[in-house]
């Protein structure tokens, strides 16, 4: 507000341009991590809050940048991600997988099941991966998590997912109401039902925020501070250590 408005009764019109604000459903950072044998390494952390049209491209850009920075393991956080575009979820699965793996199965009312497979997939990275899920992970989040877990690409850490895996047709009625008819359900690549069942993670974790950091050198950025106080992140780091040890031993 202008300071002279109190003494000047005239009103000045100002034209303000209207612009679109683009919000990315993806955020990412690098977590410094000290392994069990004392080595300092980097973990790429990617948080996906929804499956938008740009989600797959955003994920590719994040992974290419992290690979350039010598990240050695990844955490994909799908907690409280309610879903969005199914195609975006399937496209993101193909970023992590090779070959012609089954991403999800559909089952129609007559009981016939049809797989949706990749076509000549090429993963950007084969580094160890942990996917975080919880009761707020639904729909495309569950399909992506199931695809990565059932194809042996990731360990799931967290809490049982919401359980939304159906396709519905919508018919608008004359009185303004609508009729929803379920025409297809989604099954995981291992043919496990998702709808009203959810996905139980491989490893549980608490939702508590820890009071004390495990390493003082991780305190330099506020985003890293929050992540390192997250007990599920710490469980994920432990699982990544196990995966990396297995890879080294083999």
Q: Is 47 a catalytic residue?
A: no
Other Cβ atoms within 10 Å of 27 Cβ, number: 14
**Helix (H) / strand (E) containing 148:** helix 140-150
Q: Which of 49, 137, 139, 188 is catalytic?
A: 139
Using a 10 angstrom Cβ sphere, with 0-12 exposed, 13-18 middle and 19 or more buried, the burial of residue 89 is buried
Could you tell me which residues come within 8 angstroms of residue 9 by beta carbon, excluding any fewer than 6 positions away? Answer: none
Q: Which of 28, 47, 141, 164 is catalytic?
A: 164
φ, ψ at 25 (rounded to 5°): -75, 0
SS (H, E, C) 158-218: ECCCCCCCEEEEEEECCCCCEEEEEEEEEECCCCCECCCCCCCCCEECCCCECCCCCCHHH
113-117 sheet: strands from edge to edge: 113-117, 102-108, 178-187, 166-172
Other Cβ atoms within 10 Å of 210 Cβ, number: 13
- Find residue 170's DSSP bridge partners: 180
Q: Is 24 a catalytic residue?
A: no
Question: Rounded distance, CA 186 to CA 179, Å?
Answer: 20
Q: Which residues are catalytic?
A: 139, 164
């Amino acid at each position: 507000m202008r300071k002279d408005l109190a003494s000047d009764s005239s009103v000045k019109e100002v034209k303000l341009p209207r612009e679109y604000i683009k919000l990315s459903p993806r955020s990412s950072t690098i977590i410094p991590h000290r392994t069990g044998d004392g080595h300092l390494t980097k973990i790429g952390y990617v948080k996906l809050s929804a499956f938008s049209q740009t989600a797959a491209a955003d994920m590719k850009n994040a992974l290419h940048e992290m690979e350039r920075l010598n990240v050695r393991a990844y955490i994909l956080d799908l907690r409280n991600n309610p879903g969005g575009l199914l195609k975006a979820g399937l496209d993101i699965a193909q970023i992590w997988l090779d070959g012609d793996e089954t991403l999800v199965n559909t089952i129609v009312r007559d009981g016939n099941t049809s797989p949706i497979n990749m076509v000549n997939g090429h993963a950007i990275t084969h580094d160890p991966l942990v996917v975080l899920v919880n009761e707020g992970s639904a729909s495309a989040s569950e399909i992506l998590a199931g695809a990565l877990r059932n194809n042996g690409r990731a360990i799931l850490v967290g809490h049982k997912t919401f359980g939304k895996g159906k396709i519905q047709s919508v018919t608008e009625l004359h009185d303004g109401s609508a009729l929803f008819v379920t025409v297809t359900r989604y099954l995981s690549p291992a043919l496990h039902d998702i709808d009203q069942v959810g996905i139980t993670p491989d490893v549980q974790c608490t939702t508590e925020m820890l009071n004390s950091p495990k390493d003082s050198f991780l305190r330099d950025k506020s985003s890293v501070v929050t992540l390192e106080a997250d007990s599920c992140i710490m469980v994920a780091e432990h699982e990544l250590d196990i995966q990396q040890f297995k890879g080294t031993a083999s």
